[in-house]
């Protein structure tokens, strides 16, 4: 009769030990990979929040002109944001008619006018606030209503457009440069989406519409203020017309701590936005 040799106890123990070592190694590899993926996801989330905030604010801040910084603190800034430009062509019925240059139709339609500014002969802008804007007939800026005639331009998705501004400022002769603006406040304040965290809010002061743009941010996020030498200060000067730009300190964070960590991941994006802001 043939005898079949089996495994002895020592061989079984060695095999089990090798299997355990392989199992532990595979488990550690899976955990390591999982934490790496979670870390990368948190980094992308934090980075995306900072960049999204920068994209929105930079577009508005770069438009700020003379005396455009209205109020400022490390947590909040209020600016005049131009959204349409044109030239005056006629004064009629207590209103100033303005021939507008082509603009972004979506931004124009969504804007809430706070006022308008016109440039005098010295190059200084004079502000009229509050103001109303109503659509007028575009051909009223043409001969024989105006002489010389002013051509109102149109492009794809933008029909030739003339608006009537009130109240009327009789110091705006035909050809005066005019822009329409809205007052906008950006502020770091408690988040409505993520209780206990900080969000970036944008408020259109004319309508009071307040929107939370991005969250969450760390409490180190702030606005800093550039002087004529582009040196940043943590607090604004008494005369806001001395501010020549803003340093945006955007310290965004992930919503939750990534796996293996106890605190959310942070991403610091700091950049300067320079604008024209004279008295």
The C-alpha torsion from 44 through 247 and 81 to 83, rounded to 10°, is -50
Residue 4 predicted with pLDDT over 60 = no
pLDDT digits (tens, 9 = 90+) for 34-68: 666 666 777 788 888 889 899 989 989 988 888 89
- Per the omega criterion (within 30 degrees of 0), is the bond before 130 cis? yes
17's CB contacts (< 8 A; 6+ apart) are none
**What is the three-class DSSP state of 192?**
coil
Q: Is the dihedral of CA 158, 164, 169, 174 positive or negative?
A: positive
110-156 pLDDT per residue, tens: 899 999 999 888 888 899 999 999 988 878 888 788 777 888 888 88
Give me the percent of the chain exceeding a pLDDT of 90. Answer: 47
Residue 260 has a pLDDT of 74
Nearest of 269, 268, 254 to residue 40 by alpha carbon: 254
Mean pLDDT of 193-216: 94
Residue 208 has a pLDDT of 93
**What's the rounded Cα separation, in Å, for the pair 199 and 197?**
7
Instruction: Kindly tell me if the per-residue pLDDT of 189 is higher than 70.
Output: yes
**For residues 179-186, average pLDDT:** 96
Mean pLDDT (the chain) is 87
pLDDT, position 233: 95
- In this prediction, what percent of the chain has a pLDDT beyond 70? 93
Length of the chain: 279
Cα separation, 23 vs 228, in Å, equals 64
Residues 147, 152, 158, CA angle at the centre, nearest 5°? 170
Question: What would the pLDDT profile of 241-277 be if each residue is shown by its tens digit?
Answer: 999 999 999 999 988 888 777 888 899 999 999 987 7
Residues 6+ apart with CB under 8 A from 229: none
Question: What pLDDT was estimated at residue 131?
Answer: 92
Is the peptide bond between 202 and the residue preceding it cis, with omega within 30 degrees of 0? no
- DSSP E strand boundaries for 42-140: 69-72, 76-92, 95-100, 115-119, 125-128, 132-136
208 φψ region: left (φ > 0), alpha (ψ -120 to 50), beta (else): left
Q: How confident is the model at residue 279 (pLDDT cuts 50, 70, 90)?
A: low
Looking up tokens 């043409």 gives 142
């Amino acid at each position: 009769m043939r005898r079949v040799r089996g495994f002895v106890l020592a061989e079984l123990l060695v095999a089990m030990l090798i299997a355990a070592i392989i199992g532990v190694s595979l488990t550690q590899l899976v955990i390591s990979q999982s934490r790496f993926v979670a870390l990368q996801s948190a980094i992308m989330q934090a980075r995306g929040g900072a960049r999204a905030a920068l994209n929105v604010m930079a577009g508005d801040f770069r438009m700020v002109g003379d005396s455009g910084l209205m109020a400022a603190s490390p947590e909040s800034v209020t600016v005049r944001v131009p959204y349409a430009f044109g030239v005056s062509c006629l004064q009629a019925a207590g209103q100033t008619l303005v021939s507008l240059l082509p603009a972004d139709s979506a931004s124009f339609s969504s804007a809430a006018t706070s006022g308008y500014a016109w440039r005098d002969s010295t190059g200084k802008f004079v502000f009229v606030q509050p103001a109303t804007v109503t659509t007028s007939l575009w051909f009223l800026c043409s001969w024989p209503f105006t002489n010389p005639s002013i051509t109102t331009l149109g492009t794809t998705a933008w029909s030739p457009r003339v608006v009537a501004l009130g109240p009327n400022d009789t110091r705006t002769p035909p050809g005066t440069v005019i822009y329409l603006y809205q007052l906008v406040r950006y502020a770091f304040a408690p988040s409505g989406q993520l209780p206990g965290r900080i969000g970036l809010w944008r408020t259109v002061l004319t309508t009071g519409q307040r929107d939370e743009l991005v969250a969450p941010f760390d409490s180190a996020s702030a606005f800093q203020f550039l002087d004529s030498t582009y040196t940043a200060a943590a607090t604004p000067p008494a005369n806001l017309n001395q501010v020549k730009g803003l340093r945006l300190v955007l310290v965004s964070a992930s919503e939750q701590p990534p796996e293996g960590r106890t605190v959310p991941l942070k991403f610091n994006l700091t950049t300067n936005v320079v604008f024209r802001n004279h008295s």
